[in-house]
Amino acid sequence: MSATIRNVAGGNAGGKSRYRRYRESPRAQRRALWIGLAVFVVGAAAVPFALFRNTAHPLKDVASNQPAQIAAKPTTVALDPNALKIAREFILTAVARKNLDAAYDITDTDVRGTMTRRQWESGTIPVEYYPVGDVPLDAFKVTYSYPHQALLQVSLVSKKGQTSENKEGFTFFIGLKKVGSGGQDRWVVNYWAPDYHPPIPGGPQ
């Protein structure tokens, strides 16, 4: 009986001795610290993955044997005489820098932007100037004409006494679109630009 008591006491004493040695060992404490840090890092990395993992269902790649949907081309129509009238008026006013008040009303915001009427009448406008003389109707050629939009080419000849880069004439594109509805619809100019083709440099002589 006494031997058993001594053995138990000795075992407890040995356990306390090992625990005491662990507490007093810097190496053992550093090992425990690194193990604890490793466990923390792994756990911290796993938490966002568990919370924010992608739970969306993948889209199915379904092939279709149906023909591709292609936008229908607008129906070509004869040019509206009112559109031609507005194009000619725009050239004689905005392009020639005359009667700009009238030009403001037939110019779309695609050209004049947010300019007020007063700003427009100052003459500093985003419309290329040309010292045009008369604009006969046969100067226009239709590029395309649809019910609500049209694009024309117009060959202009400079006014006598004025100088220009091309005294023999210059070709411009003028675009128009119909705005409004019902009896209030009307044509306005929404594009104006020269038909300019930069020269192609020649090869070495």
Residue 29 has pLDDT above 70, yes or no: no
pLDDT: which is higher, 167 or 182: 182
Of 151 and 169, more confident: 151
Length of the chain: 205
Work out the mean pLDDT of the chain and round it to a whole number: 80
Is residue 167 over pLDDT 60?
A: no
Question: Which pLDDT score is estimated for 190?
Answer: 97
Residue 44 — left, alpha, or beta (φ > 0 → left; ψ -120 to 50 → alpha)?
alpha
CB 131 within 8 A of CB 164: yes
Q: Are 195 and 189 in contact (CB under 8 A)?
A: no
Cα distances (angstroms) measured from residue 134 to each of 61, 67, 87, 193: 62, 51, 13, 19
Write out pLDDT tens, residues 49-65. 565 565 666 666 667 77
- The least confident of 12-16, 63-67, 93-97 is 12-16
Percent of the chain with pLDDT over 90: 45
Q: What is the dihedral of CA 87, 89, 93, 94, to 10 degrees?
A: -20
Q: How many CB atoms lie within 10 A of CB 170?
A: 19
pLDDT at 139 over 80: yes
User: Residue 13 pLDDT more than 90?
Assistant: no
List the single range of 29-33, 37-41, 161-165 with lowest mean pLDDT: 161-165
Angle of the 2-23 helix axis to the 26-52 helix axis, nearest 10: 70
Given a cut of 60, whether residue 9 has pLDDT beyond it is: no
Question: Per the structure block, which two tokens stand in for 22?
Answer: 């662990």
Give me the pLDDT at residue 8, please: 43
pLDDT level of residue 123 (50, 70, 90 thresholds):
very high
Render pLDDT for 70-84 as a digit per residue (tens, 0 to 9).
777 889 999 999 999
